[in-house]
Amino acid sequence: MKIKNISLFVVATLLLSCSIEKQSATTHMPQVQKLGKQFAMETSKSQKFRTSEPVAKWWTQFKDDDLTYLVNKGFKNNFDIKIAMANFLKSRAIVEEAGTAGLPTMDIRSSYTRQQLSEEGFFGDLQELDINLYDVGLDAFWEVDLFGRLAQNNKRALAINKQALADLELISMTITAEIVRNYIILRGEQYLLQIAKRNLENQSKIYTTALDLFESGLGIDLDVKQAKSELRLIEANIPTIEANIARSIRRLSVLTGDIPTSLFTRLREEKRLPDIPQSIAMGNPTDLLRRRADIQKAEQQLMQAFAEYNLAYSDLFPRVTLKGSIGFIATAFGRWLTAGALETNFGPSISWKILNLQRVLARIDQNDATTKNRIYSYQKTVLNALEETENAIDNFSKEEVRRNHLVQAAQDVNSAVDIAQQRFEKGIDPILRVLDVQRSQLNIESQLVRSETNLCLQLVILYKALGGGWYLPKSTR
């Protein structure tokens, strides 16, 4: 396949078909339609999903001031974002430079030369062999873009610029998701710490009761040892949770561009997990393909490959340049800027790599293969995006169902604990029954916290899959 011309129609077709071949458009379109059906199916199954335009600052849907503060700080201070912004500004300057290639290049020259000619040379018969040469003038050079070489170079630079913008969006989205993810993990671990401390307090009371009964002759030593072992087990879990909390705070500090200990004062206080929004706007599948930064980047890599192919193809044709100069040249300073010292020249210049045809054709074949590579990469990126989005929708929905079951289980086990404690206090059941029920309570409560944490994390993954880079300011683009 040789790509000889990239028209606007081909570019528009590319955005939906992932290929310049006409048959590929119909081949790939069902994938987009399939995603639309998946959106509709999931929306009908859950009231949480709707097809309206996604919220730009999606992290604000958690309604958590600390989280919003951290994301804003990350935008401002994160070094990965700063690096990506610097790369984007560099690429924008490359576009500006490429845009000037079609303009005439003009240089001002000015020189003075003193030369002594050889007596034995061609000018040896001259009376004066010492020559002063004064020269000042303007040289101009302009390549006439008859075969589109400069236009393709400009398109190539523009594609690189848009890749850098996509990289900026991708990194900004990734850093945002990491900040939100680590914040959710932090609040989830703090929630687990609250449960562990509450269970430690309850277990301490049971141990004290068992010890009092044993010392009064109404209990047995086995109950005391069992209660004490349960107490020690809960105590052993607390340091691990505290270490997880500290690690999350350090990670958030670095993600927001600060030293690892900078956020301990602000985040050490325990807070509940952020709330899940009542509904989630997902947009439509066509906008998803436009919005995801990884797809935008793959698309622009393909655009760059097209431009580089056409650049290589343009070497089959001659380059036409117009050259000219105007200036004053004289051997005496007094006659330097006079009419007689005026010198001008103008004329076209043609260069053609026809004698290196084999090399030119080989370079065309290289770029042709690269273009095919980019087409396949674009197709792969789109399919991966569809898979990631559908997985995120499904995982969020399934985790929500699991969370709801655990909520019911937690309510049931809380009632069971109350009954077991009452029966123990009345002497109906041994303390082992209470310990078993409380162990189940701790296990279910811990699972519920982890499920609620995971539900929030799945929502972050879903927002990321929906193309979380759409919130960048329009001025950046």
In whole angstroms, give the CA distance from residue 41 to residue 226: 52
pLDDT at 119: 60
The amino acid that residue 408 corresponds to is Q
pLDDT in tens, 351-393: 888 888 999 999 999 999 999 999 999 989 988 988 898 899 8
DSSP notation for 147-193: TSHHHHHHHHHHHHHHHHHHHHHHHHHHHHHHHHHHHHHHHHHHHHH
Q: Which residue did the predictor score with more confidence, 7 or 469?
A: 469
The overall average pLDDT reported for the chain is 82
DSSP notation for 115-133: EE--TTSTTTT-S--EEEE
CATH number assigned to the domain comprising residue 334: 2.20.200.10
DSSP H or E stretch at residue 328: strand 319-330
Same domain as 171, residue 121: no
Same domain as 394, residue 338: no
pLDDT at residue 9 greater than cutoff 60: no
Structural domain harbouring 111? 103-144+318-351
Same domain as 391, residue 281: yes
3-state helix, strand, coil in the chain (%, to 5): 70, 10, 20
The verdict on residue 302 lying in a domain is no
CA-nearest of 178, 196, 198, 174 to 293 is: 174
Confidence of residue 117 (pLDDT cuts 50, 70, 90): low
The average pLDDT across 113-121 equals 68
The verdict on residue 356 lying in a domain is no
Q: Which residue did the predictor score with more confidence, 272 or 52?
A: 272
Same domain as 162, residue 79: yes
DSSP H or E stretch at residue 277: none
In whole angstroms, give the CA distance from residue 121 to residue 238: 98
pLDDT at residue 259 greater than cutoff 90: yes
The verdict on residue 190 lying in a domain is yes
Same domain as 211, residue 336: no
Same domain as 55, residue 175: yes
The verdict on residue 113 lying in a domain is yes
Token look-up 């335009």 returns 53
pLDDT at 471: 54
pLDDT at 8: 32
CA-nearest of 357, 445, 454 to 401 is: 454
pLDDT in tens, 410-456: 999 989 988 988 887 777 877 778 878 888 888 899 999 999 999 99
Q: Which residue did the predictor score with more confidence, 272 or 429?
A: 272
In whole angstroms, give the CA distance from residue 342 to residue 344: 7
The verdict on residue 55 lying in a domain is yes
The verdict on residue 210 lying in a domain is yes
CATH number assigned to the domain comprising residue 283: 1.20.1600.10
Same domain as 134, residue 171: no
DSSP H or E stretch at residue 50: strand 49-50
The verdict on residue 343 lying in a domain is yes
Same domain as 224, residue 198: yes
Same domain as 189, residue 274: yes
- Total domains, the chain: 2
The verdict on residue 112 lying in a domain is yes
